[in-house]
Structure 1
Amino acid sequence: MERLPPFSGLTAFYAAARHGTLTAAAAELNVSQPAVSRRIASLEEDLGCTLFDRSHKPVRMTQYGRDLLKALHGGFGQIEAAVSQIRQKAEQRVVTISAPSGFVGFWLIPHLGELEDSFPELTIRIISREYGETQRPGDILIRFGLPDDGVQGEQRLLGDDVYPVASPLYLERRKMSSGQYDINQMTLLTMEAASTHWHDWPGWFENAGQAVPRKARTLDFNSYAMVVNAGLAGQGVCLCWDGVLDSFLETGALQRLRGPAVISARGYFAAARDGLAAGEDVQKILGWIVEKGRKNTAQ
């Protein structure tokens, strides 16, 4: 790796080049004008070339100086942008939540007003991701899957009951009701690769002690959000985790079908990205989400 010259010399040159005078550069750096001149001279000696042509008044940059200024524009520009973002975040006190799109759309957004009212001094930023995408950065990470003892401080959200739900429009069209229906005559809404990630219909029937309907039609999607939207549109029956679709069940847009609820080890889990070392703001938001999720499923 090429040895870099002293940072003090680079900053002195950068200030002088931008302002055009050593006096203005000295004022920006809060040092004397001779100090700026000495730093630039030391930089020129280190580089083995002159950066300013001092035969003219005012001095002019040489080609070497112009080349160095161009490079410093990019480097210092990136540093200035990063510092600005860091200062802005520090002033705004931003907490970022990263979660699967289904959880964001069906649980987090309906509770977002309450969350913001509880923490008016904080800015909440939400990052959603689809199934199969890599984990995206966030202060609070919410995932769907099996418990993971290797994640420090991870806590389960919502309940562990899994049961089928359907739109009343779909039930009416099939001349059925939430209490009287024939699962063999229904379309089962499924999610791609559910057998390894989700709780699929075959697994649900097995745990419910029922045989998988041989004649049941299936529609397959690659995200839970699409599965639920298809259910709301009256396209079939989907599986619901206790607490996830409460807003639709409360309004009647979806109805829980009478029958068994299966207990699943899979579910939504939340943890602070930095574990127990997370800041106070992050711990507050995480605690609120966990408490709210448990209250919803306890009702």
Structure 2
Amino acid sequence: MAYKMPPFKGLWYFRVAAQLGSFKLAAEALFVTQAAISQQIRALESALGCELFDRQVRKVTLTREGMALLPHLTQAFSQIEQGIEALQAEPQPNVLNLSVLSSFATCWLLPKMPLFNQVNPHLQLRIDPSDAQADFRNGDADIGIRFGLGEYPGLKSELIAEDTVLLVYKPGLIDPNKPLKAQLASLPFIQDICPDAQQAWTALNHDLGNREPKPSQMGIDNAALMLQAAVAGQGAAMLRKSLLEQAVSLGQLDVYPHFSWPCRYKYYLVAPAAHFEWPKVQAFRNWLIAQFMGGEQETLTAGAGGVLGNSMLNSSLE
């Protein structure tokens, strides 16, 4: 004959009430009404066919059956709690496995690793540079950095930074004080195969009066390779500001100061919701946000020779 398990909630309420010796205290501990405690225990007693409490005016005491049941429930719920704690526990608390876009890892994260190590000397960062979204089910990734719209089914995403697309080139290729239209006409253009960069290029040409944007002589589906091509002087390029900090600070690239285009995509931290509670993830998140809010803007402003304007209309766009 199949054994019918009594209501789980009734078992849980019974355990708490038995340990506290009071329906009133159990109700306060579980944030329910005293009537709800009484009702659940009555249902449990009905399912078991015996009374578990001797109800008196000001207190309740366990019956013989209640005293026999309590140790088993205490052990069972203790094992359940231990299992849940183990499931939610932070694996390798001193190792953070990060899944990150390869371009972001190369151009932004790796140059800043000494800063991260200074702030978090106890934490080892393992980087998986991949453009594919991490599969968190296999345990290979603790947190991911994605560049998108923040829509990742089954995962929590937290916006950490926005970005803009800028026109960049090897120093000397473009004079920002002279009309840009004629200069671009004589320069090759390196096209980043991503929507934000393509929209920026179209918008710039529209403001220059070019109905038909100049076709690119090179198309690259990797921002890090795009940056290398621009540094090598192979042409002008549209690149995200977040990836330019080191190249600009080293004098490898100049930024045209009269144009910027806001990205539709943004940077998100992505992971199962429970991962965001881990101290190592919180430490990385706080450091990451602090870096985005820190010296990047100052570096690019200095490298561009002036404040980066948000307007695409300027007397140099002729």
Pick aligned residue for 1:177 from 175, 187, 191? 175
Partner Cα separation in structure 1 for residue 149 and residue 204 of structure 2 = 17
1:152 aligns with 156
Unpaired runs of 5+ residues, structure 2, are: 1-90, 299-318
Aligned amino acid, residue 177 of structure 1:
D
Give the SS at the match of 1:148: coil
Residue 116 (structure 1) aligns with? 117
**What SS class does the counterpart of residue 295 from structure 1 fall into?**
coil
Partners of 1:238 and 1:102 lie apart in 2 by 15
Deviation of the 1:267 alpha carbon: 2.7
Aligned to 2:245: 246
The amino acid of 2:290's aligned partner reads: E
Contact 1:183 1:216 in 2 (8 A): no
Take 2:134 and 2:145, find their aligned partners in 1: how far apart are those partners?
Answer: 10
Q: In 1, are the aligned partners of 2:142 and 2:275 still within 8 Å (CA)?
A: no
Q: Helix, strand or coil: the match of 1:229? A: helix
Residue pairs, 1:7-156, within 5 angstroms: 90=92, 93-130=94-131, 133-135=132-134, 137-148=140-151, 151-156=155-160
Q: Are residues 146 and 183 of structure 1, via their aligned partners in 2, closer, same or farther at CA, if it must alter by over 3 Å? A: farther
The CA deviation string for residues 116-172 of structure 1, in whole angstroms up to 9 with x for no partner, is 111111111111014xx3535421210112233865241232x43221101126x1x
| Distance in 2 separating the partners of 1:239 and 1:214 | 13
- Taking only aligned residues, the RMSD between alpha carbons, in angstroms, comes to 2.6
Q: After TM superposition, give the deviation of residue 108 of structure 1 in Å.
A: 0.3
Displacement after TM superposition at 1:298 (Å): 5.0
Match of 1:284, SS state, is helix
Is this contact kept in 1: 2:165–2:240, CA < 8 A? Answer: yes
Deviation at 1:207, TM superposition (A): 7.1
Look up the SS of the partner of 1:200 in the other structure: helix
**Deviations, residues 80-132 of structure 1 (Å, cap 9, x unaligned):** xxxxxxxxx73x710011111110011101110010111111111111014xx
Equivalenced residues, count: 198
Where in structure 2 are the equivalents of 1:278-293 lying within 5 Å?
Answer: 278-293=277-292
Which residue is equivalent to 1:231? Answer: 230
Kindly tell me: are residues 253 and 207 of structure 1, through their superposed partners in 2, closer, same or farther at Cα, counting changes over 3 Å?
closer
Q: Which amino acid aligns with 1:187?
A: P
Cα distance in 1 between the residues matched to 2:94 and 2:133: 26
CA distance in 2, matches of 1:103, 1:235: 21
The superposition leaves residues 172-193 of structure 1 with CA deviations (integer Å, 9 ceiling, x where unpaired) of: xxxx42443422222221234x
Cα separation, 2, equivalents of 1:168 and 1:109: 24
TM-score between both structures, scaled by the size of structure 2: 0.55
Q: Secondary structure at the match of 1:243?
A: helix
Q: Equivalents in 2 of 1:93, 1:231: separation in Å?
A: 38
Paired residue for 2:166, among 160, 163, 167? 163
Are the counterparts in 2 of residues 162 and 241 from structure 1 also a CA contact under 8 Å? yes
Q: 1:242 to 1:129 in 2, by over 3 A?
A: same
Give the Cα–Cα distance (whole angstroms) in 1 for the partners of residues 230 and 270 of structure 2: 30
Distance 1:109 1:248 in 2: 13
1:221-263 deviation per Cα after TM superposition (whole angstroms, max 9, x unaligned): 1211111111111111122222321111112100001322112
1:98 and 1:140 in contact (8 A); partners too: yes
Q: Distance in 2 between matches of 1:149 and 1:221?
A: 26
Identical aligned residues as a percent: 20
Q: Gaps spanning 5+ residues in structure 1: where?
A: 1-88
Work out the CA distance in 1 between the residues paired with 2:214 and 2:275. 51
Aligned equivalents of 2:254, 2:242: Cα separation in 1: 13
Please give the secondary structure, in 1, of the residue aligned with 2:239. Answer: strand
Question: What secondary structure sits across from 1:110 in the alignment?
Answer: helix
Q: Secondary structure at the match of 2:175?
A: coil
C-alpha contact (below 8 Å) 1:154/1:272 kept by paired residues:
no
Verify the 8 A CA contact 1:178 1:256 in the aligned structure 2: no
TM-score (norm 1): 0.58
Q: 1:206: which partner in 2?
A: 203
User: SS in structure 1 opposite 2:145?
Assistant: strand
1:272–1:282 CA contact under 8 A, matched in 2: no
Q: Is the 8 A contact 1:163 1:257 kept in 2?
A: yes
Q: Which secondary structure does the structure 1 equivalent of 2:217 belong to? A: strand
